[in-house]
Structure formats: structure tokens, C-alpha cells
Amino acid sequence: MRLEPKVRFLCFAALSVALCGCGEAGVESTGETVKDKSASAQTEAPTSQTIAKPGKITFGEEDMGDFDIPISKNIENPDGSRTVEAVGEINGKYAGFKADISPNIDRVKISSLGKVSDIFLNELAKKYEKKAEALTMNAMTELVCINMGKEDSVQCMKLFYGTEAEDASKYAELYLNVDFKKNILEFHEKDPDYREAVLKVLTKN
């Protein structure tokens, strides 16, 4: 059946309007999806970094007990505090721990991640040349922190536990630095004299 010219025009116009409407809806829907992804990226990218496969733990100077551990998770929390999980391979095993840094960078909590933390503690004892068997890391050890500022991409911190006046055997000092560029958590000793105390405060009684 043939349509009259006027009828054909009206049908074509109606079809065009319908097609334009679908196109606009499609663009609007796509725009909302992109916007949502963008918002999600803005929320997660600056605050969280997760590495799927841990790299190897490396060491500093030969005569120092310095561990450079790959960061597996680095989260800036809403309150300004930071949670850093560092796990790396050492002697065919994975070792590491978690560090919670307070918003003002005046306190640091070193917490166990389970077996990998026990392995780290025992490897630390070996590096410190201390005889120990099957050490277990404390669930959590809180240390006082002095913010030593940033050097390039490295947040430098000096940690203290206890006081010499209270109990010199448990008075410990060490450095804990977050290298954001290399994605490394540096667990460095302040002085070999503190080795026994560092092990003691991190070990579960």
C-alpha cells in the first residue's frame, strides 16, 4: 500500500523524534556511568594502593639490620591516618607486618599479619645475630613517633618505645620510613645497641 506524501512525512518525522530521544537517553546514561567511574577513581587512586604479588625484601648496609620491604597496601584513611601493609619475599618465604600511622604522625602501631609477621620477626633476629627460636610477633605494639619530615618522596619517622629511666632493657629506638616513589617500607635500626630491646618489644610474651 502506498502512503500519501503528507502521511509519509508525518511518519518519518515521528520516527526521527523517537530516534533522537533514544540517542539522548543513551548519551545521558553513558555520561552518568563515566561520571561514576571518575568519582570512584578520584576516591580510590590517591588513598589506596595494592600490589598483587610481593617483591623481595632487600637490605641496607651489611653491618646494619635494615629491611626494605615492598608495600602491598597503602591506605590514607578519612581521618588523615595511614595504614601501610608491607610484605616481601625473604629466603623463599613471605614476611612483613602492618603499620598504622596516626594523623599527626606522632604514634605508630606495628601489628601482626599472622604467620608472615612471625617469619619477619625471626628473620630480624637472624639479622640482629640474636639466637631465637619460633618467635611470635605481638598482636600490636604502639610506639611514640617523631616526624622527621619528608626527603623527596620519603616520609621519615623515628620511633621510640618506653624510657631508659623506667626500663633500659625495653627502651628501643628505630627508624620507619615510607618511600612513596619506590613503594617501600624501610624498617631500619637506629643503633645496634637497641637490637635486643627492639626484638623484646615486638615479641609476644
Looking at the structure, do residues 108 and 185 belong to the same domain, yes or no?
A: yes
Look at 49 and 111; give whichever has higher pLDDT.
Answer: 111
Looking at the structure, do residues 88 and 110 belong to the same domain, yes or no?
A: yes
Does the pLDDT of residue 101 top 90, yes or no?
yes
201 beta partners: none
Looking at the structure, do residues 68 and 88 belong to the same domain, yes or no?
A: yes
Q: Output the pTM of the full model.
A: 0.74
Total domains in the fold of the chain: 2
* Confidence category of residue 129, pLDDT binned at 50, 70, 90: very high
Looking at the structure, do residues 38 and 120 belong to the same domain, yes or no?
A: no
Looking at the structure, do residues 75 and 14 belong to the same domain, yes or no?
A: no
Looking at the structure, do residues 120 and 37 belong to the same domain, yes or no?
A: no
Looking at the structure, do residues 36 and 65 belong to the same domain, yes or no?
A: no
DSSP character string of the chain: -PPPHHHHHHHHHHHHHHHHHHHHHHHHHHHHHHHHHHHHHHHHTTTEEE-SS--B-EESSTTS--EEEEEEEEEE-TTS-EEEEEEEEETTEEEEEEEEE-TTSSEEEEE--SHHHHHHHHHHHHHTT---SS--B-SEEEEEEEEEEEETTEEEEEEEES-TTT-GGG-EEEEEEEETTTTEEEEEES-GGGHHHHHHHHB--
Range of the domain at 117: 48-202
Q: Exposed, middle or buried: residue 102 (CB in 10 Å: 0-12, 13-18, 19+)?
A: middle
For the segment 166-173, the average pLDDT, to the nearest whole number, is: 89
Give the strand pairing for 107-111 and 140-151.
antiparallel
Looking at the structure, do residues 99 and 170 belong to the same domain, yes or no?
A: yes
Does the pLDDT of residue 93 top 70, yes or no?
yes
146 beta partners: 158
Looking at the structure, do residues 149 and 57 belong to the same domain, yes or no?
A: yes
For the segment 183-204, the average pLDDT, to the nearest whole number, is: 96
Looking at the structure, do residues 28 and 88 belong to the same domain, yes or no?
A: no
Looking at the structure, do residues 93 and 154 belong to the same domain, yes or no?
A: yes
Looking at the structure, do residues 177 and 87 belong to the same domain, yes or no?
A: yes
Task: Lowest mean pLDDT of 16-20, 35-39, 114-118, name the range.
Answer: 35-39
pLDDT value for 53: 66
Q: Which three cell numbers stand for residue 159?
A: 620511633
Considering only CA atoms, give the Rg of the chain.
28
For the segment 62-80, the average pLDDT, to the nearest whole number, is: 94
* Confidence category of residue 191, pLDDT binned at 50, 70, 90: very high
What torsion, rounded to 10 degrees, do the Cα atoms 161, 164, 169, 170 define? -20
Does the pLDDT of residue 40 top 50, yes or no?
no
Taking a C-beta distance cutoff of 8 angstroms, is the pair 171, 163 a contact?
A: yes
For the segment 154-166, the average pLDDT, to the nearest whole number, is: 93
